[in-house]
């Protein structure tokens, strides 16, 4: 795995943890008493949702790149003279 893919993997791991936490906490605050808290809750919930969607898309991209690499390695080994 290249260094950039490792960095993306670490970033996706962080997003997978932080996204749902922000989403749940934001939704809890969104239904609190009127004032500033519902606004902060809505912002946290939307940011958490964006992080979660980004994490899932990043994980799909990582798995796709790994599958392509494994397929290319298998094809290269298949064509090696024995």
Q: Is residue 81 part of a domain?
A: no
pTM exceeding 0.85: no
- Say if residue 59's pLDDT is above 80: yes
User: What are the pLDDT digits (tens) for 44-55?
Assistant: 999 999 999 999
Q: Is residue 82 part of a domain?
A: no
10, 11, 15, 18 alpha-carbon torsion, rounded to 10°: 70
Domain extent at residue 32: 3-76
Contacts of 17 (CB under 8 A, 6+ apart): none
Could you give the number of structural domains in the chain? Answer: 1
């Amino acid at each position: 795995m290249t260094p950039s893919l490792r960095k993306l993997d670490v970033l996706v791991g962080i997003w997978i943890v932080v996204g749902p936490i922000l989403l749940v906490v934001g939704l809890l605050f969104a239904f609190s008493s009127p004032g500033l808290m519902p606004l902060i809750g809505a912002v946290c919930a939307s940011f958490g949702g964006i992080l979660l969607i980004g994490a899932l898309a990043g994980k799909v991209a990582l798995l796709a790149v790994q599958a392509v690499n494994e397929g290319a390695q298998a094809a290269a080994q298949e064509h090696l003279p024995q």
